[in-house]
Amino acid sequence: MVTALGLDVQTNWQKALDGISAIGRVTGAPQSPVQAVAEVKAEDWAIIQERFKEDTLKDSERRTLFALQAGMSALTDAGLLEQPRERWRFGVSLAAGLPLNRLEDVAQWVDPRGQFDLAQFGRQCRQVQRDGIMCNNSNRAAAVLARRFELWGPNCTVTTACASATQAIGTAFRMIRDGDADVMLCGGADSMINPVGLVFFVLLNAACTTADKVEEACRPFDRRRSGLVMGEGAGLVVLEEQTHALNRGARIYGEVAGYASSLDAYQVTAPPADGAGAVASMSAALADADLSAEDIDYINAHGTSTKLNDRAETLAIKEVFKEHAYKLTVSSSKSIFGHLLAASGGPEFVFTVLSVYTDEIHPTVNLTQPDPKCDLNYVAGQKISCKGVASSGKSVRAALSNSFGFGGQNSSVVFKKHQLD
């Protein structure tokens, strides 16, 4: 993981369990209407740049370097970084958001009349900023990961707004299940904390624009919530076919059991009030996992801290899980490290995995005045241990992670404890 909390899973997870939010005031943009963000700390960014000097000199694009850091950590944790491998059976499935639009690449070629000088740009186009959109297409991060770590099997990039990383993980899961790969490095990386990225979400009326108490700006399911708070970073995991993992003695955190996606095609920036697309996604993921609603003990919610999403997701959970919905534990990781946009499903999936693996669930930070229409158990205040709390009375047997994106994209993935057949 790479988030504003830190550069490794252990640091991120412990701070999440302690209810520590990394959201603060944006740096270097005092006039921005958006002041609350979750930026990767300058000292952590310096560590990444030093660790990947060659890649930094080539492009310095934040999301690509975030992906490299998270990918190296995931492969190291899996014991695969230095191990000989069947390169053609190891692949990458990565979510990537919109490349950086550098205003300098526009201003540099504006003539005295305020018009873009296309002829001059044509002569000097090699002078564009290295981390901008003209030098970095959407699939660059996935390609760099594959080249750096010799993952020469299936390679794909998913760009479906805020559902991207969960869809990338689901795509990797199906590739392995279908026999196309033995191992997939998957998840997402994104960064839109820049002038154009910040304004984009203001124009969509989706961003929180409070300038006071920015550390409390993200409050999913709270009646005072006022919009999403942007974060940046990456979250990558190693998925591996069971027999392949057992044969090499891999540490197994659990099992990806099912995945599904849907498109509600309602509005670009709003879900249908009844959460129909989310209902379809969650229901199909449960069916794919061959699990019932009662088998799920925890949901890592999309939980964006927007008026429309939080209510629609709550209604969708109630529709899918019926009376069991009130026995579930639910929490939103975005309250801790912000909304990582296309990458958000990556770190959230890591936290979902750890909840199943450790039987602990992190709290939803800043949830102090619950919205009466959001009446599920959102784990407000402090972490909980699910021993004796979850519906099983024993542990978190299985969990579901949701990601819902602009344009009506919905995706859900189910993770459960690993048991040999």
Long-range contacts of 246-253 (CB under 8 A, 24+ apart): 248/79, 248/83, 250/78, 250/79, 251/77, 251/78, 251/79, 252/418, 253/353, 253/354, 253/356, 253/357, 253/418
* Nearest alpha-carbon partner for 413 in 40, 64, 95: 95
pLDDT > 90: what percent of the chain? 76
39's tokens: 């930026």
CB atoms within 10 A of CB 281: 30
pLDDT at residue 23 above 50? yes
The predicted pLDDT at position 389 comes to 47
pLDDT at residue 58 above 50? yes
* Backbone phi and psi for residue 418, each to the nearest 5 degrees, phi listed first: -85, 130
The predicted pLDDT at position 324 comes to 98
pTM for this one? Answer: 0.94
Q: How far apart are CA 125 and CA 159, in angstroms?
A: 26
CB 406 within 8 A of CB 268: yes
The predicted pLDDT at position 126 comes to 82
The predicted pLDDT at position 163 comes to 97
Helices (H), 178-291: 195-203, 242-247, 276-289
Task: Identify whether 324 is a catalytic site residue.
Answer: no
CB 216 within 8 A of CB 25: no
CB 396 within 8 A of CB 332: no
Query: Quick one: pLDDT band at residue 387, thresholds 50, 70, 90?
Result: low
Q: Name the residue type at position 358.
A: T
pLDDT average, residue stretch 116-128: 87
Q: Which of 135, 186, 218, 339 is catalytic?
A: 339
Pairing mode, if any, of strands 183-190 and 24-25?
unpaired
CB 98 within 8 A of CB 89: no
pLDDT at residue 344 above 60? yes
372's tokens: 């009466």
Specify the 3-state DSSP secondary structure of 322.
helix
Task: Identify whether 186 is a catalytic site residue.
Answer: no
Strand partners, 185: 92, 238
- In DSSP notation, 143-188 reads HHHHHHHT--S-EEEE-BTBTHHHHHHHHHHHHHHTTS-SEEEEEE
CB 365 within 8 A of CB 44: no
Helices (H), 248-333: 276-289, 307-321
Q: Which of 135, 162, 208, 218 is catalytic?
A: 162
Radius of gyration, alpha carbons of the chain:
21
* Backbone phi and psi for residue 296, each to the nearest 5 degrees, phi listed first: -95, 130
Q: How far apart are CA 141 and CA 94, in angstroms?
A: 8
Q: Which of 302, 362, 374, 386 is catalytic?
A: 302
Query: Quick one: pLDDT band at residue 391, thresholds 50, 70, 90?
Result: very low
Would you list the domain boundaries of the chain?
9-100+136-416
CATH topology for 9-100+136-416 is Peroxisomal Thiolase; Chain A, domain 1 (3.40.47)
Task: Identify whether 208 is a catalytic site residue.
Answer: no
Helix pair angle (164-177, 345-358), 10° resolution: 60
The predicted pLDDT at position 421 comes to 67
* Nearest alpha-carbon partner for 266 in 257, 253, 258, 275: 275
CB 294 within 8 A of CB 301: no
Q: If 0-12 CB within 10 Å is exposed, 13-18 middle and 19+ buried, where does residue 298 land?
A: buried
* Backbone phi and psi for residue 34, each to the nearest 5 degrees, phi listed first: -100, 120
* Backbone phi and psi for residue 338, each to the nearest 5 degrees, phi listed first: 80, -175
pLDDT at residue 272 above 60? yes
The predicted pLDDT at position 94 comes to 98
Q: What is the pLDDT of residues 170-222, one digit of tens each?
A: 999 999 999 999 999 999 999 999 888 888 888 888 999 998 999 999 999 99
